[in-house]
Structure 1
Amino acid sequence: MTQLSEGAALPVPAQALQVAVTWQTVPGAPEVDVSALLLDGGGRVRGDADLVFYNHTEHPSGAVRHLGKSAPGAPGSAAADWLWLHLARMEREVDRVVVAASVDGGSFGQVRGLDVRVTDLSGAPVSYFAIGGATTETAFVFGEFRRREGGWTFRAVGRGYASGLAGLATDFGIVVEPPPAPIPGPGYVPPPVPRQAPGYGAPPTPVHSRPYGTPPTPVHSQAYGTPPTPVHSQPYGTPPTSRPARGYETAALPVPSHGHVAPAVFDPLSSSFRPSVHQGRGKETVHCDPAIPPGWALLEIESYHSISTTIESCDAHGRAEDFLLMAYEDDVRARTVALVPPDRPLTLRVDADTPWTLRVLPLAHARRFDSHIEGHAHDLVVYDGPPGVLDFSHHGESPFTVHQHTPPREPEYDAEDQELLVDEIGEVRVSAPVTGPGLLRISGDGPWKCAMRR
């Protein structure tokens, strides 16, 4: 692994890479939240979607994703927050991808063993940069991927901010609105507003965002000897479920709506584990991490210009067992669910004519149903509402199916129950009853909508 000093850069392959900001768990230290900003040639984002973080986990282009964070372990153990990016798929307008992080309720001076590591999907190290000497900073730019002469480089930056993610985002062109004023209590009488004659006094000074080149005093990295073992070799544990946004975001920073809170008897998001990414071509068997706990796991797959893309679960002998996904579109970006056996690792059979990328993620990354949801083709939705009737519509030509996965009625015999709610073809409008919380596995070849009947 190439260890970089501040300001140094090295070429990196234009392929799928994983970036981990890592640190050591210390009692009382704040959490570290990693983000990526996609910048144009002027060093600015093109819109709010160019900020990828834990409340906006995927860029619309599909080229950058926030994979999640490992759960905190014992004091002194390693933890990490992960990004996945594919430089070859980066839009032409994107000149730089900045890797940054922020903390809430403290400063980076309380965080120990802070560094950023870049690896390929096999875990082979690409670069490593240690951050030292942090004090009161609440946000950091760790490094950046930058286009250079038809390729890409990674440069170690190590620049600190005292204004958190909001200040960092503002410097790159994202408008962060202040939080609304608190609602006054009963009996509140507003103070009188002084009146001014026309032209009296000087106009208020406009507030300008700080240019990128003039942040607070930069923090210099300190190389601390041989870098630790590469990211994929360390037992970082499991990422937590998604968290609500903190006080710095506004309408300018997208926050998903989560609606109804699931009752304690149904908590599909409670199982967490370290995300993993697998790549292949044609028909291959994928042996997933044995550390994934029994229960449901979210599968995301991408393939382009393939006649068909399928995912099957395998039995204990590696033989294909059940179809989890059957997609016949030219370009596939789909989600489905797999059931991890209690007595062995999850094994999958993936088949596509062209190269494919498969991500195995905790269900915390799945979409949540909140009275109404829309999607396209194949997706998985967490439904944690009451019994009722769902109205579906589908605009396509191929079969449209909806399966509901629920906790087993007889756990001693089954790991889950499945029910086929919808099985139609083409343009359809259909209703189906749901008995309560579960997972909705939706499959079609066009846009669809689902809403709870009022």
Structure 2
Amino acid sequence: MTQIPKGANVAVPSQVLQVAVAWQVVPGAPEVDVSALLLDGGGRVRGDTDLVFYNQVDHPSGAVRHLGKSAPGAPGSTAADWLWLDLARVEPGIDRIAVVASADGGAFGQVPALDVRVTDVTGAPVAYFPIGDATTETAFVFGEFYRCAGGWRFRAVGQGYASGLAGLATDFGVVVEAPPPPIPGPGYVTPAPAYGSPAAPSYGFPAAPPALPVPSYGSPAASAYGSPTVPAAPSAPFAPPSPAAPVADVADVDPFSSSFRPSVHQGRGKETVRCDPSLPPGWALLEIESYHSISTTIESCDAYGRAEDFLLMAYEDDVRARTVALVPRGRPLTLRVDADTPWTLRVLPLTHARRFDSHIEGLAHDLVVYDGPPGVLDFFHHGESNFTVHHHTPPREPEYDAEDQDMLVNEIGEVRVSAPVSGPGLLRISGDGPWKCAVRR
């Protein structure tokens, strides 16, 4: 691996890369949260969507994604927070991509063995920059990718900030606003503050997201159609994950916290996606993107590969949607994806889903985790077509049932409706416009 000192730079391939900010796990150290800032020629973001972090995990261009953290290990082991970059897809108006991080609950001087690593899609090393001079900083610019002579280079920056991610982001032009006022209606609670525009969708709590496991090092596994899974951690000095214990039954699994390696599948038209057979039984979050298609659908398949149930039906021109699939026992998850234009499907653990217990809002099709107690949900939908909400819960009789589903809402157009919810579970929300949901207890 090419180790570079502070201020130096190295050429990187204009392709898909993985970036890991890594550190050593020690008791009492602050949480490290990594972000990416996409900057124009003036060194500023063009808008709040040019900040990619745990609460806004995808850039609209598809060029940058926040993958999440490795699973927490024992003291002395190595943890990491990951970014995925496709430099070939970076828009012409973007000249630099800054890799930054904040320390929650302390300063970077309390985080030992801090470094940033860049690898390609096979896990081959590209660049390595150790940080040895952190002290009282609560935010850090670790490095930046920048255009040079028709290609890309990576520069080791190592610049600290004492004002946290909010101060760092403001310096680069991100508007950090106060939380929006509560939505009118009975029982609404003021939502928690978050970075960025209140109009931007929030992909989780403002607190740090649940940790993800570090996938194994080496060539990425290929899907049935050759699309690689999202590559990740180099084997050294990162500690490999412990082998997962075999899972005998869905009833033995906590469906809200099971972890597995995220994967990405790409195709065009109608294709069958056969997911990794090692996915644990239980729920998996599905994210799909397609543009300029008449319709986009995802169906689950039975053991013979025949389409079984619709998981998503979207009729918008541009689709960025989330839904849920149930990984069956004893066989791989198989999906039928259909769109008129090229599509990208991601299969993720539920730790990537947004969570709430009082208030949430979104656009069109989404899958959210409701963490609250029994109550009444108030829904507002601003659209013209069908608006549905399904409530998924773990099985009451695991021996016979894979999961339980209740349809809470099935309305058309502008909707203001209330529905009882029995307790924690998944809300699969589908519409053609913006929606809001709050709990009235």
TM-score normalised by the chain length of structure 1: 0.69
Task: Tell me the CA shift for residue 287 of structure 1.
Answer: 3.6
Do the aligned residues in 2 keep the contact of 1:109 with 1:134 (CA within 8 Å)?
Answer: no
Do the aligned residues in 1 keep the contact of 2:391 with 2:426 (CA within 8 Å)?
Answer: yes
TM-score normalised by the chain length of structure 2: 0.71
Higher-Rg structure is 1
1:418 and 2:405 matched? yes
Report the secondary structure of 2:45's partner residue.
Answer: coil
Counterpart in the other structure of 2:425: 438
What amino acid is aligned across from residue 141 of structure 1 in structure 2?
Answer: V
Name which of 341, 345, 348 aligns with 2:335: 348
Task: Tell me the CA shift for residue 331 of structure 1.
Answer: 0.8
Counterpart in the other structure of 1:9: 10
State the distance in 1 between where 2:386 and 2:422 align. 24
Counterpart in the other structure of 2:222: none
Counterpart in the other structure of 2:120: 119
CA gap 1:22/1:285 in 2 versus in 1, 3 angstroms: farther
State the distance in 1 between where 2:335 and 2:20 align. 26
Return 419-428 or 103-112, whichever deviates more: 103-112
What amino acid is aligned across from residue 20 of structure 1 in structure 2?
Answer: A
Q: List gaps (5 residues or longer) in structure 1.
A: 178-227, 239-265
Counterpart in the other structure of 2:127: 128
Counterpart in the other structure of 1:190: none
Do the aligned residues in 1 keep the contact of 2:389 with 2:407 (CA within 8 Å)?
Answer: yes
Cα-to-partner distance string for 1:181-204 (whole Å, 9 max, x where unaligned): xxxxxxxxxxxxxxxxxxxxxxxx
Cα-to-partner distance string for 1:273-332 (whole Å, 9 max, x where unaligned): 343333233333334344543322211111111222222223344443322112222111
Counterpart in the other structure of 1:337: 324
CA gap 1:78/1:280 in 2 versus in 1, 3 angstroms: farther
State the distance in 2 between where 1:94 and 1:446 align. 29
Report the secondary structure of 2:35's partner residue.
Answer: strand
Task: Tell me the CA shift for residue 97 of structure 1.
Answer: 0.9
Cα-to-partner distance string for 1:123-149 (whole Å, 9 max, x where unaligned): 464723242645537554333222345
1:159 and 2:158 matched? yes
Do the aligned residues in 1 keep the contact of 2:41 with 2:93 (CA within 8 Å)?
Answer: yes
Cα-to-partner distance string for 1:232-276 (whole Å, 9 max, x where unaligned): 5758559xxxxxxxxxxxxxxxxxxxxxxxxxxx97543333433
The 5 A counterparts of 1:157-306 are 157-161=156-160, 163=162, 165-166=164-165, 168-169=168-169, 171-173=171-173, 231=232, 234=235, 237=241, 269-306=256-293
Do the aligned residues in 1 keep the contact of 2:321 with 2:365 (CA within 8 Å)?
Answer: yes
What amino acid is aligned across from residue 117 of structure 1 in structure 2?
Answer: V
Task: Tell me the CA shift for residue 153 of structure 1.
Answer: 0.7
Cα-to-partner distance string for 1:375-410 (whole Å, 9 max, x where unaligned): 222111222333333343434343322211012111
Cα-to-partner distance string for 1:82-122 (whole Å, 9 max, x where unaligned): 113444554554321111234454646853383312334xx
Do the aligned residues in 2 keep the contact of 1:65 with 1:85 (CA within 8 Å)?
Answer: yes
Counterpart in the other structure of 1:43: 43
State the distance in 2 between where 1:416 and 1:27 align. 38
Task: Tell me the CA shift for residue 164 of structure 1.
Answer: 7.0
Task: Tell me the CA shift for residue 419 of structure 1.
Answer: 1.4
Name which of 332, 353, 372 aligns with 1:385: 372
State the distance in 2 between where 1:176 and 1:326 align. 35
Do the aligned residues in 2 keep the contact of 1:70 with 1:274 (CA within 8 Å)?
Answer: no
Do the aligned residues in 2 keep the contact of 1:296 with 1:339 (CA within 8 Å)?
Answer: yes
Do the aligned residues in 2 keep the contact of 1:129 with 1:156 (CA within 8 Å)?
Answer: no
What amino acid is aligned across from residue 322 of structure 1 in structure 2?
Answer: D
Do the aligned residues in 1 keep the contact of 2:24 with 2:111 (CA within 8 Å)?
Answer: no
Name which of 361, 371, 375 aligns with 1:374: 361
Cα-to-partner distance string for 1:193-216 (whole Å, 9 max, x where unaligned): xxxxxxxxxxxxxxxxxxxxxxxx
Number of residues paired by the alignment? 372
**% identical aligned pairs:** 72
What is the root-mean-square deviation in Å for CA atoms of aligned residues? 3.6
State the distance in 1 between where 2:156 and 2:22 align. 16
Task: Tell me the CA shift for residue 18 of structure 1.
Answer: 3.5
1:99 and 2:102 matched? no
State the distance in 2 between where 1:102 and 1:373 align. 25
CA gap 1:324/1:51 in 2 versus in 1, 3 angstroms: same
Counterpart in the other structure of 2:195: none
The 5 A counterparts of 1:310-325 are 310-325=297-312
Cα-to-partner distance string for 1:430-449 (whole Å, 9 max, x where unaligned): 44332222211111223333
State the distance in 1 between where 2:432 and 2:118 align. 39
Report the secondary structure of 1:364's partner residue.
Answer: helix
Do the aligned residues in 2 keep the contact of 1:374 with 1:447 (CA within 8 Å)?
Answer: yes
Counterpart in the other structure of 2:21: 21
Counterpart in the other structure of 1:64: 64
What amino acid is aligned across from residue 303 of structure 1 in structure 2?
Answer: S
State the distance in 1 between where 2:277 and 2:234 align. 14
